[in-house]
Amino acid sequence: MPRRGPWPENPVIYQVYPRSFLDTTGTGEGDLPGVTRQLDYIAGLGVDGIWLSPFYPSPFCDGGYDIADHCAVDRRFGTLDDFDALVARAHDLDLRVMIDLVLNHTSDTHDWFAKSLAREEGFEDVYIWADPCKDGSPPSNWLSFFGEAAWRWHPQRAQYCLHKFLPCQPCLNHYNDRVHERLNRITRFWRDRGVDGFRYDAVTSFFYDPGFRDNPPAAEAEAALIPGPSNNPYTFQEHIHDVLPNECAAFAETLREMAGPDAYLLGEINNGPRSVEVTCKFTGPDRLDAGYAIDLPERGPSTEVLRDLLTRLEDAEGWTWWLNSHDQKRAVSSFGDGGAADAKMLAAFLCALPGPLLLFQGEELGQPQAELEKVELTDPYDLMYWPDSVGRNGARAPMAWDDTQPACGFSKAVPWLPMARAEQGGVAQQEADPASVLAFYRDALARRRDLGLAEATMELEDAPDACIRFRLRVGTLVVQVAANMSGAPQDLAPRQGAKRILQTKPPAPGSNLPPRSAAWWLLEKG
């Protein structure tokens, strides 16, 4: 199957979580034919490609990121023929297809793990095995992202196996060339099926100190910047031995060789306070095209956060902007009231940022975070840190396509997670409303494309508290952007001649930017 042509330098990529997108079989879970059916809708947003979250065979202990077979489709989602049909239709619509590749670990139900556990020839060291200390304790004090000991004892081998996530997700041994040979075959398998790019899960976690030295305690300031609730012990350590970003960044060259020069490669950067610097090391010629980190979604949109990021980024390429994903509480609920006005304000801010953009399904509707009871949760992290961290299941609530029951057009069955209906309804309702969040996203993305803002340079300006103001320059074109996230009107418009080209609310009397609103102006000169 022919692959899609070159990607734009700074694409807009729409993330699809297949289990929550559209169910065509009446199981209450989304599937690949459901994605294919709605590709016209996705293309109509004005995005350049899609990112498909895992659809591989999996016991689904960690939302599909515990893969049991990297070269197949889980039966709940369909077949390889369904995948091929999805890729073909996407290419017909000029959409590129990126898929999740989880190369840090597998499920412990993977055939490789069974062979490694049995010390079968060629598989002995596919995973990271280590002998116990003399007292029987694990070889180091390392903790998983879930806050538990990162070592699991396996009596069959009388050894510990390393896992950086759940115990059922053993880490692959990236110091083993045979592992890379197998990963290369996986990469080529999907490239040969027409895949245009890969999103590498946990790409900063591949390498570690082979001597298994203990991590030191994290200083208070460092701990505060490590993503996760403050009661997660993972934040108590400085992760300098279990995570080696320099070695991982160098390995990005191998990932590029595997994928080929025309594939778009995006990395998930999990390095807390060093995320910007690590992203810069991962991206560039012969490495990844882009990386994304949790800074903006975790800390929230503000002048302070943007100034910090821009100062650290300098002229680096590949920094990707985003507010929503399958791992993060919905931004309209985190930084807003969950309503349409705040959804538009965040859209105006995000769509103006130069560089690659990520959108998560439902974001364009203003879909809020699903408010779930503990008995409704299925995600292990949400369950472990209830009620302090409930971001993942709530963000993954199914997409609303209309207002029919029982599941707003997502399924004819009871959905696998409760719905989270946006203020202005599902896709059908918002398609009919020119003032909807959906219409606003389409307009903002079209203007971003027409004005060339993805390639702009950005100049941050001073602004009152809870406000953001910056200028974008593309050649001789200058665009002023302002967001008023406060509860009072603010005078944030440029003083010289300017044309307002995008607004989330009409100007306020005696001011130019009402509370909880944003606008773009086209300047006559810089």
For residue range 282-298, list pLDDT tens digits in order. Answer: 999 999 999 999 889 98
Question: Are 406 and 505 members of one domain?
Answer: no
Question: Are 276 and 397 members of one domain?
Answer: yes
For residue range 98-126, list pLDDT tens digits in order. Answer: 999 999 999 999 999 999 999 999 999 99
Contact 314, 308 (CB under 8 A): no
> Is 253 labeled as catalytic in the residue annotation?
yes
In this prediction, residues 189-200 reach a mean pLDDT of 98
154 domain residue, yes or no = no
Look at residue 526 in the predicted model and tell me its pLDDT.
52
pLDDT at 505 over 50: yes
* Active-site residue identified among 69, 148, 253, 455: 253
Look at residue 103 in the predicted model and tell me its pLDDT.
99
> Is 23 labeled as catalytic in the residue annotation?
no
* Active-site residue identified among 66, 100, 201, 268: 201
Question: Are 321 and 341 members of one domain?
Answer: yes
pLDDT interval class at 497 (50, 70, 90): confident
CA nearest to 526, candidates 465, 479, 466: 479
Contact 481, 83 (CB under 8 A): no
Type of residue numbered 167? P
Question: Are 435 and 460 members of one domain?
Answer: no
Question: Are 270 and 218 members of one domain?
Answer: yes
For residue range 431-475, list pLDDT tens digits in order. Answer: 999 999 999 999 999 999 999 999 999 999 999 999 999 999 999
379 domain residue, yes or no = yes
188 domain residue, yes or no = yes
65 domain residue, yes or no = yes
pLDDT interval class at 311 (50, 70, 90): confident
Look at residue 2 in the predicted model and tell me its pLDDT.
47
In this prediction, residues 85-93 reach a mean pLDDT of 98
Q: At what angle do helices 303-313 and 275-282 cross, to 10 degrees?
A: 40
Most confident of 75-84, 230-239, 482-491, 493-502: 75-84
Question: Are 279 and 189 members of one domain?
Answer: yes
In this prediction, residues 29-58 reach a mean pLDDT of 99
Measure the N-to-C terminal CA separation of the chain; round to a whole number of Å.
47
Question: Are 436 and 461 members of one domain?
Answer: no
Q: Which among 427, 446, 465 is the end of a domain?
A: 446
CA nearest to 322, candidates 363, 264, 373: 363
Which 8-state DSSP code applies to residue 448?
H
Look at residue 315 in the predicted model and tell me its pLDDT.
63
120 domain residue, yes or no = no
Q: Which among 446, 481, 507 is the end of a domain?
A: 446
Supply the CATH number for residue 489's domain.
Answer: 2.60.40.1180
The number of helix segments (H) and strand segments (E) in the chain equals 16, 15
Type of residue numbered 49? G
Collapsing DSSP states into helix, strand and coil, what is residue 37? helix
Which 8-state DSSP code applies to residue 427?
H
Contact 73, 84 (CB under 8 A): no
Dihedral angle computed from the Cα positions of residues 339, 469, 433 and 40, in that order, rounded to the nearest 10 degrees? -100
Q: How far apart are CA 87 and CA 299, in angstroms?
A: 36
For 415-481, the three-class secondary structure string (H helix, E strand, C coil) is: CCCCCCCCCCCCHHHHHCCCCCHHHHHHHHHHHHHHHCHHHCEEEEECCCCCEEEEEEEECCEEEEE
CA nearest to 89, candidates 15, 147, 146, 37: 37
Spatial neighbors of 258 by CB under 8 A, at least 6 apart, are 183, 184, 187, 188
Do the strands 467-474 and 477-484 form a parallel or antiparallel pair, or are they unpaired? antiparallel
401 domain residue, yes or no = yes
Question: Are 491 and 434 members of one domain?
Answer: no
Supply the CATH number for residue 209's domain.
Answer: 3.20.20.80
